Every structure is written in C-alpha cells, then in structure tokens.
C-alpha cells in the first residue's frame, strides 16, 4: 500500500521541481519594453529609461575612425540598432548577468567588426566605449543587470578582465574634444545610466496598386477636380533648375535664407555633410517655389 502511494508523490515532486526551474529561468531573462525576452540575432535600440534623450548610436569624432558609441542629442533620434551576442553559444535568449558582446555592425570604412570595446581616452582621462572591436577581445565583454527602477530597465556592466569581481557601469558624459555625448564607464553605481531596449521593427513594404487601379484613381481625381491645372513636367523641371542656380552658394553663410539655416539646424547632430544638407534644403525650397 505504501509503495502505491510513493509513485504519485515522486511524480508530483518532479513536476514541482520542473515548474520551479522553468520559472527561475524565465525570471532570469532580459526583456525589452514590451516584456518579451531579448532574442539572439534580433536587433534592438538602446535608450535611457527615464528622461527625454536620443537613442544610443555610433559616430565619428574628429577623424573617420574609430567610431565612438554616443547618445544622440536629438530626442527624436532612436539610435542605431545593435545585436546582443551571448558568449555561451547555447543560449538563444539573453540572460541576466551573463557575459555578452554588443554588436553594432561592421564598418566598411574603418574595417572593423563593430563590437563595443572599452578604451582609455586621453582627452577626457577616462574609459570610453568605441564601436570597433573583435569578439575575441576581452574588452568587448559586458553584462546586463536588473535595476530597482522602472520595469524592464537595466544597467549595462563592464566586468574588469583582470579582476572580474570588480565592475564598472555605462554612463553618458559630454566630450571635451567634440562636445558629443559619449558613452563611457563609471565606478559609481549612482551615476550609471538605466537603459531600456526596443526591438527593431521590420519596415512595412508599401503595396503598389496595379496599373489599372492607378489609372482609375488618376481618372477619378481629374474628374473630381477639373479646375486644377496640371503643370507641365518640362516647365516644372526647368523652373526648379533655374531656382537652384539662383540660390547663393553654401560658402556665403551671411546671406543664407532662413530655410537654409533651419536645414542646417535640423541636421546638426546627423552625419550628413554641409554640402548634402545645402543641396537637400535647396531642393525643398525650389519645389515649393515652382
């Protein structure tokens, strides 16, 4: 009789242990703002959990290389996507306090793999993060740890290669050389920046209507607005060309129009060159004039 009661008891204990193990594993996962675990191979944007700030990305400083990890100054900039690569290749999801690599993508210009790496910066006399490292380098290893703050918010930690028990935290500071907001390290946990992760959504492809549908739409528009005069394509193109030649060259900064100045302010935190910004704003102005 005792033997018969022992079988269901052992089964119950096994199921209970399995449930506890599964629950512990689930609570050990790093999650994005939607509460979903961070998947290996997926791309994510990194932003501050609190405040009105731009996303984390990468940018040149003075020379073209290396690329520095920065926080964009424009709050509307969501940053540059990264991938979280676990050192333990068996993991399919990112776990708390596990060693990971942060991959920002390869750079053809700098010929680097794009893994975040810690270096010492002489200008600021402190450690900073650059997006130019190899996965085999010990200085490219980071960890993600839970905070006591907002839900699904985390601190990114850098364990020192020589003494893994010591650690530094990722923070943001103003660069003395370029005035960029660089991502660096601090030993003070109170100065650590708390981050959240947004999964990069796939671009939604625009479904183009069939030629017959396009013709029907155009015919309906013309019939509903017969009073609207259709501009001549040749005349419009010629007008735009003359408009562009009439605008002052970009070197004459004192005589730029307000629209040109606003264009430069719009792209001041971007990587677009001044000539490209000028050409873009000139096209906008001329399309409106013509």
- For residue 118, being part of any structural domain is answered with yes
Neighbours of 74 (CB within 10 A): 14
> Residue 81: which CATH number?
2.80.10.50
pTM summary value: 0.63
The answer on 44 and 175 residing in a single domain is: yes
- For residue 73, being part of any structural domain is answered with yes
The answer on 244 and 126 residing in a single domain is: no
DSSP type of residue 93: B
Distance CA 59, CA 65 (A): 9
- pLDDT in the model for residue 27: 81
pLDDT in tens, the chain (290 residues): 444 454 456 555 555 554 444 444 568 999 999 999 999 999 999 999 999 999 999 999 988 899 999 999 999 999 999 999 999 999 999 999 999 999 999 988 888 889 999 999 999 999 999 999 898 999 999 999 999 878 899 999 999 877 767 889 999 999 999 999 999 999 999 999 999 999 998 744 434 445 554 454 445 544 444 444 444 444 456 665 666 566 555 454 444 455 554 444 444 445 555 566 566 666 666 655 55
Helix or strand or coil: residue 21? Answer: helix
- pLDDT in the model for residue 215: 56
Beta pairing class for 68-71 and 56-59: antiparallel
The CA angle 69-75-80, to the nearest 5 degrees, is 35
- pLDDT in the model for residue 42: 96
Query: Residue 260: which domain range?
Result: 232-289
Overall domain count for the chain? 2
The answer on 184 and 63 residing in a single domain is: yes
Per-residue CA distances from 194 to 216, 250, 282 (Å) = 54, 41, 41
Last residue of a domain, one of 199, 219, 241: 199
> SS in 3 state form for 37-68?
ECECCCEEEEEECCCCCCCEEEECCCCCCCCE
- For residue 273, being part of any structural domain is answered with yes
The answer on 39 and 157 residing in a single domain is: yes
- pLDDT in the model for residue 213: 47
The answer on 241 and 189 residing in a single domain is: no
The answer on 182 and 278 residing in a single domain is: no
């Amino acid at each position: 009789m005792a033997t018969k009661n022992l079988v269901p008891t052992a089964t119950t204990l096994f199921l209970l242990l399995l449930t506890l193990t599964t629950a512990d594993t689930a609570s050990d996962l790093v999650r994005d703002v939607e509460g979903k675990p961070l998947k290996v191979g997926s791309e994510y944007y990194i932003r501050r959990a609190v405040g009105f700030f731009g996303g984390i990305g990468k940018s040149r400083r003075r020379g073209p290389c290396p690329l520095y990890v920065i926080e964009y100054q424009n709050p509307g900039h969501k940053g540059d996507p990264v991938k979280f690569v676990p050192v333990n290749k068996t993991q399919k999801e990112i776990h708390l306090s596990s060693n990971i690599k942060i991959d920002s993508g390869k750079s053809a210009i700098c010929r680097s793999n794009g893994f975040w790496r810690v270096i010492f910066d002489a200008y600021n006399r402190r450690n900073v993060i650059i997006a130019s490292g190899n996965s085999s380098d010990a200085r490219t290893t980071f960890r993600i740890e839970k905070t006591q703050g907002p839900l699904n918010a985390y601190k990114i930690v850098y364990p020192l290669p020589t003494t893994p028990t010591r650690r530094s935290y990722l923070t943001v500071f103003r660069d003395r050389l370029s005035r960029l907001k660089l991502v660096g390290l601090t030993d003070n946990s109170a100065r650590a920046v708390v981050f959240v992760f947004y999964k990069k959504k796939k671009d939604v492809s625009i479904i183009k209507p069939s030629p017959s549908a396009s013709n029907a739409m155009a015919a309906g528009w013309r019939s509903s607005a017969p009073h609207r005069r259709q501009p001549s394509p040749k005349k419009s193109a010629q007008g735009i060309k003359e408009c562009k030649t009439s605008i002052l060259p970009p070197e004459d900064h004192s005589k730029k129009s307000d629209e040109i100045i606003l264009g430069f302010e719009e792209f001041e935190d971007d990587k677009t060159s001044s000539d490209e910004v000028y050409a873009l704003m000139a096209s906008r102005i001329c399309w409106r004039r013509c």
